[in-house]
């Protein structure tokens, strides 16, 4: 059965927006788009702007039950890490149940904010049932970390198991995430990159996130060293100094897809290293988390000027007020007024889907893509549709389910 939708404005991410388009859907997939023509049986979406379902490139859903971010705004990053550790220790014996509840809530919150794909950093124990919401695709990227060499084989075994896990739902796929330079030694990162190559999986790593991280890499000193020493985890061989983010970018480059998460303090040599691998490498910027820690201005403009894909993420409710990805877009539009608004849309659709390895089903409105979209009500005779979208809030719709006029009336 073919379903037809007449759309006021269609942002396909495959070219210029189309005014007054008809979208044909069958078996949950888009089959064709007509730029003209009116079908009597088409659902009237003439007062709506439609774009691909939003893609949240980076989030930690285990924190989704928090009412407020952890710690205090502007605190140092190592201090905040200590708050995260304390929070996780509070789960106690019910960790699996409470974590699953938080993740399930986070997926639901994502859908409520118009998000159809999330790049979720998963931690063990992992319960697949927590991802059970068919309209939201979860890329479950297992967090791999640990400075203890005696547990390295165990960590890699867990990563391999995750890479080949037989998910029961097509709305879940796998990815990997060597956590960060201060929590994953080089030898561990290299093995995770090899798994990404072997199984053609997306990979994400926190990098150049804070000045304290840079100090640890460059000099082997500072607050991160003190924190690791207090935990009994610091070894000189892991942090000899003389390292830059560019060294880690080169480690990540052979991955099937590599995403540098945050990149708040990427310098020119680091950006040049990413540029050499921009066909498969992406940078994920989390604007509201960036603001929470009062970081220096993000190098977003320099990255875009070099043709590097930049995508957006909400990070988590441990450092951001909610999981509203569109609020991240709105903040970027406010902070970087010189970036054209139309350049922001691929950051949460086409380019983000590519970074997460789901570009065959998400990120564009094109034949063969899933018919899951984000919709904005714009009304009649809107003088600037994109401006109206930036001032509005998206709704997540699955056009394959047969949207009706009743759905529109109660949306």
The residue among 234, 181, 172 whose CA lies nearest residue 212 is: 181
The count of other CB atoms within 10 Å of the CB of residue 309 is: 23
**Integer CA distances (angstroms), 343 to 13, 161, 258, 310, in order:** 10, 38, 21, 10
Lowest mean pLDDT among 15-19, 190-194, 264-268, 321-325: 15-19
pLDDT value of residue 381: 81
Average of per-residue pLDDT across 291-297: 97
Q: Is the pLDDT of residue 409 over 70?
A: no
| Residue whose tokens read 């059965």 | 1
CATH architecture assigned to 54-355: Alpha-Beta Barrel (3.20)
Closest to 380 in 3D by CA, of 52, 9, 13? 9
Least confident segment among 64-73, 126-135, 219-228, 261-270: 126-135
Q: Which residue has 């983010």 as its token pair?
A: 245
pLDDT digits (tens, 9 = 90+) for 93-134: 677 788 889 999 999 999 999 999 999 999 987 777 788 777
State residue 406's pLDDT score.
43
Q: pLDDT tens, 69-87? A: 999 999 999 899 999 988 8
CATH architecture of 2-52+364-410: Roll (2.30)
Determine whether 14 is exposed, middle or buried from the number of CB atoms within 10 Å of its CB (0-12, 13-18, 19+).
middle
Q: At what angle do helices 152-163 and 186-199 cross, to 10 degrees?
A: 20
When pLDDT is averaged across residues 373-395 and rounded to a whole number, the result is: 93
As a whole number, mean pLDDT of residues 167-186 equals: 95
- Quote the pLDDT of residue 148: 92
The predicted pLDDT at position 37 comes to 65
407 confidence band (pLDDT: 50, 70, 90):
low
Q: Where are the domains of the chain?
A: 2-52+364-410, 54-355
Q: Is the pLDDT of residue 60 over 50?
A: yes
Is the model's pLDDT at 405 over the cut of 60? no
Nearest to 111, CA basis, from 325, 345, 382, 402: 325
| 241 Cβ contact list (under 8 Å, min separation 6) | 217, 218, 219, 220, 221
């Amino acid at each position: 059965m073919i379903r037809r939708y007449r759309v006021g404005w269609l942002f396909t991410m495959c070219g210029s927006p189309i005014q007054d388009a008809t979208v044909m859907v069958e078996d949950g997939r888009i089959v064709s788009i007509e730029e003209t023509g009116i079908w009597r049986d088409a659902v009237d979406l003439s007062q709506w702007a439609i774009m691909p379902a939003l893609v949240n490139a980076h989030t930690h859903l285990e924190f989704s039950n928090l009412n407020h971010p952890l710690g205090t705004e502007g605190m140092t990053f190592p201090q905040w890490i200590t708050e995260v550790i304390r929070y996780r220790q509070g789960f106690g014996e019910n960790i699996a149940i409470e974590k699953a509840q938080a993740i399930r809530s986070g997926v639901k919150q994502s859908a409520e904010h118009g998000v159809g794909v999330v790049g979720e950093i998963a931690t063990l124990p992992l319960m697949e049932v927590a991802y059970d919401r068919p309209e939201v695709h979860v890329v479950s990227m297992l967090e791999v970390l640990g400075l203890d060499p005696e547990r390295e084989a165990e960590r890699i075994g867990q990563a391999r198991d995750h890479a080949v896990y037989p998910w029961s739902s097509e709305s879940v796929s796998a990815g990997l995430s060597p956590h960060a330079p201060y929590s994953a030694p080089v030898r561990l990162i290299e093995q995770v990159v090899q798994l990404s190559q072997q199984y053609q999986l997306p990979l994400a790593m926190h990098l150049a996130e804070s000045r304290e991280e840079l100090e640890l890499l460059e000099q082997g000193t500072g607050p991160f060293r003190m924190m690791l020493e207090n935990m009994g985890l610091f070894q000189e061989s892991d942090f000899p100094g003389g390292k830059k983010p560019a060294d880690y970018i080169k480690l990540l480059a052979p991955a099937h897809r590599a995403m540098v998460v945050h990149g708040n303090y990427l310098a020119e040599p680091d950006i040049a290293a990413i540029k050499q691998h921009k066909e498969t490498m992406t940078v994920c910027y989390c604007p509201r988390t960036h603001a929470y820690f009062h970081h220096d201005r993000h190098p977003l403009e320099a990255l875009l000027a070099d043709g590097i894909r930049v995508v957006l993420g909400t990070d988590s409710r441990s450092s951001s007020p909610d999981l509203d990805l569109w609020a991240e877009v709105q903040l970027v539009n406010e902070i970087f007024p010189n970036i054209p608004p139309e350049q922001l849309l691929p950051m949460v659709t086409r380019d983000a889907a590519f970074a997460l390895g789901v570009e065959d089903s998400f990120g564009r409105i094109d034949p063969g893509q899933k018919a899951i979209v984000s919709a904005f009500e714009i009304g009649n005779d809107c003088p600037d549709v994109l401006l109206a979208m930036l001032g509005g809030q998206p709704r997540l719709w699955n056009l394959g389910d047969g949207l009706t006029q009743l759905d529109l009336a109660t949306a």
